[in-house]
Structure formats: structure tokens, C-alpha cells
Structure 1
């Protein structure tokens, strides 16, 4: 073992000679992009030399350290240029700086989840990429250049149907026989208020159900969350519409609820419906992000126009009236995820993009 290998081993870094793909994460806070990287990279690493780079990532992932950046100036042992797989503008910029200023031996791939017209600077960045990926057909419509649609997958080991007594709603200690959930950051863009309004309207008619909301409340959105609590208290439903805040393991809550609601007003891709379906839980969602491409109405759940609180309430009502419907759609959702949205499917499709980029030389 040479000195460089010894240093890498003791620093918990990867052997860069074997790394052909870098997945940068140039954002400290947890986000949907970060979650995607955390779930996907271990699957990619089974058949590909890949490493993450940047803050906010668990030490369990193969990781390139900052002091290893000079290794990008030369190619790995395979002789192919490394791929820098960006998912944010900052990461595209970093890749261009590495390639054109520091002469790094890399090719640039970008995944776009945005479902809006890109700004001029972003469009320019996108045109500099060697490979482009859209996370849904809808996001692909906003790319004016050739691309491949690769939808995200879900970790079926982490998100799975109930297996133990702790996975049942009764283990939560909350009232009711059935639960309906809404998980994610508590804020206006996520539609948490639309969910609360629907619950205030519906729960008095369905005494067997309890609504559970989990997710971070940042200081910026504390007033929004406080207003929701006041609204719930005024309706006399504080024991049946529960805001838990951040929980240690949200996966168990997907298993405890019979229906999951994703009421976002806007979204990039949005993994939560997939996580619910993998847990054998029916889903009602808005048509934000990729939700309309994930949920099959009348089979695995339903979706409504984003921001339409009345439609959301009406879509939820049949499930509260008939828990067997929620159970049936949950079973169908698990089958659909296992067929269409496995992480292995996403990893294989990304490898096809990488191979096309490498074929260009």
C-alpha cells in the first residue's frame, strides 16, 4: 500500500483510482436531493466506482474528501474521464470551474427536477452539460435540449409494510383506530394548511381516524405552524390532529397510517408518495412535482389540482368512509412501486446515461 492509499484509508476516504463517478452535494441542510443521493449511491456502488462529495452526508457513504480534489486532474485506472453528476446549479458551476479552470478530467451530467421555465443563467449552464436527465416527463418539457427521463426510486428495505407490533398505529399511543398522515417540512408551499383544513372538515364525521403531521418547523415558518395549531384548537381537535415535529424515524409512521396525503402547492420530484406506497399505504396527492406520474387514480390512490383545498378534501373523504378502500389501494401501490420505482431501476437508467457520455470520449 503506497502513502496515498494509506492516507485515504485512515481518513475514511475512497481510493480515487477506482472512482469513476462523483455525486456532489454542495448543500449543508437536508433536502430532497440529499435524500436521493443517500438512498441511491449505495445501490450504484454495487456495480460502479462512485463517491459522494460535500457536507451533510452520512459517513457510511463512499466519500471523496476535499484534499482529494487534485486527483480529478487525472483519470481513474479505467482511463475514462470521471463523471461529475450535478443536481443543483451550484454543482454545475463547480463542475465547470473544475473542468475549464483547473483542467479536471471530468464530464458533466445534470439531473433536473424543476417544473418551470429555467432562468437564462440556468439554461446556459444546462447547455454546457455532456448529459442531461429529467426526473419526470413534466420536468423534461422545460429542457430545450436532448435528455433522458429517469424517475427516482425508493429504498424497499427502509420503506416496507408493517412487520411488527411497533409498526401498527396502536403502538403510537394516539387515539383512534386508523391514521391519516402528512409528512415533510411544515410550510405553505407543502400545503400543510390544506391538509389541516381538510381534517377539520372531515374528522368530526369519522371519529375512528386521527391525523398525524410530522416534519421540521423552521424559524421562518414558525408563525405558519402556530396559526395551524390555533386553528386546530379552535375546532376542538387538538387530540386528533397532532403535529409531532421532526421524528427520529419517519419510515415507521408511513407504516402506521392507512392513508398518506401529499398536498404540496409546488414540488421538485417529491419522494414521499413513493415512500408511502412502498409501505403499503394508499396516497392522495396534489398534481405538483411528479405526483401525477406516480399515483394511479382509482388504483393506488388519487390526485387533485395543486392548491385546491376543496378537491383535496373530497378526494380524502372516501378513504375515511371506507378503510377497506385504503387497504386495497395500499396493496396495489406496493405492487406498483416494486415494479416501476425500485432504486435498482433508477441506478440502471443512470448507468445508461453515463455509458452514453463515456461513449462520446
Structure 2
């Protein structure tokens, strides 16, 4: 918790009880941003290492920060946008609103209405930006290299898990159709009987509405006699160690926003087979650090995984290339710098004389925008 709220320049919101990509972004990014900014997160399910503000501090948002003309309110969900608009436009809090968009679909009318009222919009990829009807700045997500790193000791070896086989192929994330868990299971049912040295590990939470889906998958596995080699671990305490234990990681999502899991695997020196959902294609160099398949294509998924099963050394070679690639292109520090540039542009605008249109202000501050310009 922060003690002197007057120093806080940025509030990052997380109004979601469940772990999600948005929560992961806040948890990883805010401590990195705090190295150069006075920032605090507001919301739920935030660990101690994340600088936070108390809910009782919300009334303090109506006072200007000590060293800025206004605070920046950085949000990632619709309910967070609603709260920001109410605080700023109805109650008059001295805020500027930023929305981080990772979605890859046409937004609903209410969302589009709120987006037009943001002071800036950040998107994680060109593909996500193509669905926006407002100016945006592209800042890809980064990866926490302190948490996700190659194996360092015996605990990081797959043998430490006590599961059968020499090599592990992993699939992480919530257990549901959208994430393609069934595609992964079906691929394993096809491949594992031919490759006895491999074991499949599935981690992630199963919500109540997906329990029947999970039971059906487990029933198929049991019927195939592979219950010991296709293992559901549930919501594990430390997912990072499992990335290090995997020789191959599979991200078979049918739909994604950005999708952090391949980057986390790559930072752990693990090769990746991923669908072309979300931003996965920007992370994979086919034949160099992994493979990309069409989303929902089970046959293509099987065909992409099998070369790694047949030749584990290929997976290790691509894992080394993956590590080099993610460090060069998807660092958390680079994400923090990209977002800071948007903050600084808004603060610079706040110091300029009134009377300029928003389009004129954008032209004078050198921000990077694409998409359809807002009306002045």
C-alpha cells in the first residue's frame, strides 16, 4: 500500500476477481513501471509486490497529484472505463483516461462509445488496432524475465515432477473450448501412443461452467488408457517452474486477445507450437523457434507437434532460439517505456495552452497513431 497518495501519478485498475490476461498484465507491469513512475494499482487479487492504493483512497482522486496537472487512470476492462468516465466526466476528478485494448473483434456499441471518450488508447498489436475506430498507439506486452527464465537447478527438470516419461509437452490456461484444450487432448491421444518418452501436462483453472467440458476430456483420456500420460494439474501455485520443465509448449487457442503464455514459455527456453489466434503469429518464427497452425485445425496441430516428438533435440534447438527472440523483442522494460511515452504525451498536452483541437494536440506532441482519427 502507498503511504503518500499525493505523489501518485498513475492509477492502474484491475476490477476482476478472476485471474485473466488483464490481471497478469497489471501484476507484471506495474512493478516495472514503478521503477520510474509513482504508480499504484487499484482492484482485486493483487499480490503484495504490486504497489497498490486502498479503496479508501478513492476520494483522494479528486485532488491533483503533487507534481502533475492530473493523474492518469489506466484501465483494461469495460467496468474500469465506466468508473473512470464517471469519476472524470460526472464527478469532475482531475484524471486523463487510457484504455489498453487487446481484443480482436468489433467492439459492442457501448464499448465504442466509451472508447471515443478516452484520452488515449493503447493496443497490443496491429491486428487488435484494426478493430478500433479511434486513434491508438501500439505497445506489445512484455515478459517478466525475472520470473520466466531457463532452468537453473534440478527442481526445474521434468524428472522432479515425478511423472512418467523423459519429456513434457505443456498446455496452460483456463480449461475451456476457446483455449482449445480439447484440440490439445485430441492431438495427444493421437501422438502419445507412438512416442512413449513424452507426457502431456495441462494446467489451469476450470470454472463451474466448464466442468462438464473437462469431465468429457478426462473420460476420453481414460477410455484411451492414457490417464497417467495426459495429466490435469489444475491451477498450479507456480506456473513458471512448469514452463521450465516443458520441452515443448502448445497454445492451441481458437480465440485470443494478445496471449502471454507463448512468451512466458519462450522466456523459459521452450519451443512453442501455437495457433494463429491473437498475437501469436508475431511471436513465432516458423522453423526457427516454433510453429504456427490455423486456429481450430486439429490435423495441422498434430502435424506441427510430431516433428518435436520425433526429434526432441529440435525442440531444444528451437527453445534456445525462442529465448533469444523473446529477449530481443518482448521485454517488460520495453512495454513500460512504450506506455510511459503515452503518459508523457498526455502530461505534455496538459501543459499546453487551451483552445487546440485534439487532432492539433496530437500533431504537436509527436504521438504515434494509426487507425481512424477522432473528430476534433
Interval containing the TM-score (normalised by the shorter chain): over 0.9
Give the TM-score normalised by the residue count of structure 1: 0.95
Match of 2:324 among 330, 335, 341: 335
Aligned pairs for 1:126-275 within 5 A = 126-275=115-264
Counterpart secondary structure, 1:302: strand
The alpha-carbon deviation at position 60 of structure 1 amounts to 2.7
* 1:77-121 deviation digits (Å, cap 9, x = unpaired): 113210000101111111110001211000011110110011111
Report if aligned partners of 1:160, 1:280 keep a CA contact under 8 Å in 2.
yes
Rounded to whole Å, the distance in 2 between the matches of 1:158 and 1:150 is 21
Unaligned runs of 5+ in 1: 1-11
Give the alignment's Cα RMSD to 1 decimal: 0.9
Does the aligned pair in 1 maintain the 2:2–2:40 contact within 8 Å?
no
* TM value normalised by structure 2: 0.92
Q: What aligned pairs does 1:34-49 form with structure 2 within 5 A after superposition?
A: 34-49=23-38
Aligned to 2:96, the other structure's residue is in SS state strand
Displacement of 1:65: 1.2
Distance in 2, matches of 1:79 and 1:231, equals 59
CA distance in 2, matches of 1:315, 1:79: 52
Question: Which residue does 2:76 correspond to in 1?
Answer: 87
Could you tell me which residue of structure 2 aligns to residue 123 of structure 1? 112
Q: Does the alignment pair 1:75 with 2:64?
A: yes
What per-residue deviation string (whole Å, max 9, x for no partner) do you get for residues 211-233 of structure 1? 11111112211111111111011
The yes-or-no answer on 1:96 pairing with 2:88 is: no
- Aligned-partner Cα distance in 2 for 1:104–1:323: 57
> Which residue of structure 1 aligns with residue 372 of structure 2?
none
Q: Report what 1:323 is aligned to.
A: 312
Alpha-carbon shift at residue 27 of structure 1 (Å):
1.1
Distance 2:122 2:3 in 1: 26
CA distance in 1, matches of 2:116, 2:252: 33
How far apart are 1:72 and its partner, in Å?
1.3
Unaligned regions of 5+ residues in structure 2, if any?
351-376
Alignment partners' CA distance in 1, 2:293 and 2:162: 32
Q: Which deviates more from structure 2 when the two are superposed, residues 37-46 or residues 53-62? A: 53-62
Residues matched between the structures, number = 350
Q: Partners of 1:228 and 1:29 in 2: how far apart?
A: 23
CA distance in 1, matches of 2:215, 2:94: 51
Shift of 1:13: 3.4
Separation in 1 of the partners of 2:293 and 2:68?
Answer: 50
Determine the C-alpha separation between the residues in 2 that align with 1:153 and 1:272.
11
Report the Cα distance in structure 1 between the residues aligned to 2:197 and 2:252, rounded to whole angstroms.
22
Q: Give the Cα separation in 2 of the matches to 1:209 and 1:55.
A: 38
Instruction: Show structure 1 runs of 4+ deviating over 4 A.
Output: none
Q: Secondary structure at the match of 1:280?
A: coil
Is contact 1:134-1:140 (8 Å) kept?
yes
In the alignment, the residues of structure 2 paired with residue 59 and residue 159 of structure 1 have an alpha-carbon distance, to the nearest angstrom, of 19
Match of 2:364 in 1: none
User: Per-residue deviation at 1:175?
Assistant: 0.8
- Asked whether the 8 Å contact 1:182–1:212 carries over to 2, the reply is yes
Deviations 1:111-137 (A, max 9, x none): 101100111111111110111111111
